[in-house]
Amino acid sequence: MTYTTQMDAARKGIITEQMKIVAAKEKMDPNRLRELVASGQVVIPANKNHRNLDPEGIGAGLRTKINVNLGVSKDCCNIELELEKARKAIELKAEAIMDLSCYGKTREFRRKLVEMSPAMIGTVPMYDAVGMLEKDLKDITVDEFFKVVETHAEDGVDFMTIHCGINRATAERVKRNKRLTNIVSRGGSLLFAWMELNNQENPFYEYYDRLLDICVKYDITLSLGDACRPGSIHDATDAAQVEELIVLGELTKRAWEKNVQVMIEGPGHMAINEIPGNMMLQKRLCHGAPFYVLGPIVTDIAPGYDHITSAIGGAIAAAHGADFLCYVTPAEHLRLPDLDDMKEGIIAAKIAAHAADIAKGIPGARDWDNAMSEARANVDFPRMIELALDPEKARRYRESSRPEHEDTCTMCGKMCPMKNMKKILNGEDLCIK
């Protein structure tokens, strides 16, 4: 039996090779996974042209995944550095990489990225349109927008962020309801500008079925972008954000009718107390589709530390239903991240994802923590370092400050509670002078 997309296969009762791999990784029954893909609660982004993909699932009952952003800009156009970042992201086991290149002829870089990466690859075709077509934004035609989308699909991109929900009605809502930070989505702001300059509807909304046909052809997972995501905690959960979310829910159903896999993108900046409600709202309005969040960043005052503000929000969001976290680096709001920034962002996002998996009761999530606790109870520093999320940093810290006794650290020394409790419970004397 033939099929067009992972969702089409799942609805026909077919367990694809990608489903088998994901089920094994997630310790889930393959038939249960197939049911979740069929219902749209899980997506497996897997472009037919991405030959060396090691597939991952995103959605209900699965481990929280993370995405790494990279790509060239006009001010920082070093393709080799971006490829080095990609290699590091793969080494650190990021499940997804998004190429957000927005300058010049990006196809060569994108093809290299797809060819080298076992991680799923995402793009935002809107970023590429001006550079690829060498035209002013106002002069780009509807056909040219779709040409860019199809080019990315041909190159093997597994998921695309496309801001289909910022239609003219939502744009009017933005204009009528003053925001502190307006539209901070790059792709969303470009489409808003194109609509205003041309007095036309968003082409990806007006010709949505044309977009879905491309997705079916290559089995692209459509990541419905949130043009109206809040760019400050002041703007969170406002009329524009909620109206766009309602539109995205409608577009999700239309995509599912054509067997196109969908995930929904979400906030943004948001106070901690608003996060659980937003997660519930998204899942309700978008019919349980996987939720992909940037952060949420929980306070606006920490430039240079936004990997931390994002990890706080990401952990809370994922514990309350978000399925996919976009990393944020210390360079957020300041500059293009370098290699060190990227690593800090990845580690912070992975901490948030793992903490959420523990809260969600994902099978096996606590096993890693229990192994670490056992190593600590045994004062086994080599084992602790081996189990660390970032063994390199843990080893560097340990070696930078050596204790008098190797089975302690320089904070506690002979007062080490782990070591001393074992001795006392074993009936031994202590000597801690």
Residues tagged in the binding site annotation for Zn(2+): 269, 333
Find, among 155, 103, 107, the residue nearest to 130 by Cα: 103
267 and 281 Cβ atoms separated by less than 8 Å: no
Exposure pattern of 98-109 as b/e (b: 16+ CB <10 Å)? bbbbbbbebeeb
Distance of CA 96 to the CA centre of its chain: 7
Measured CA to CA, the distance from residue 365 to residue 49 in angstroms comes to 32
Tell me the two tokens of residue 431.
Answer: 């000597």
How crowded is the C-beta side of 4, counted as CA atoms within 13 Å? 16
Collapsing DSSP states into helix, strand and coil, what is residue 297?
A: strand
C-alpha to C-alpha distances, 16 to 9, 144, 194, 213, nearest whole angstrom:
7, 34, 40, 21
**Residues making up the binding site for substrate:** 69, 98, 127, 163, 185-187, 226-229, 265, 292
Strand extents, DSSP E, 254-351: 262-266, 291-294, 324-326
The continuous run of DSSP H or E covering 355 comes out as helix 339-360
**Residues making up the binding site for [4Fe-4S] cluster:** 409, 412, 416
Measured CA to CA, the distance from residue 109 to residue 98 in angstroms comes to 12
**Residues making up the binding site:** 69, 98, 127, 163, 185-187, 226-229, 265, 269, 292, 333, 409, 412, 416
The helix, strand and coil proportions of the chain, stated in percent and rounded to the nearest 5, come to 50, 10, 40
150 and 214 Cβ atoms separated by less than 8 Å: yes
Measured CA to CA, the distance from residue 295 to residue 424 in angstroms comes to 45
Neighbouring residues of 37: CB distance < 8 A, sequence distance ≥ 6 = 6, 7, 9, 10, 19, 43, 44, 57, 261
Task: Specify burial of residue 27 (Cβ count, 10 A radius: 0-12, 13-18, 19+).
Answer: exposed
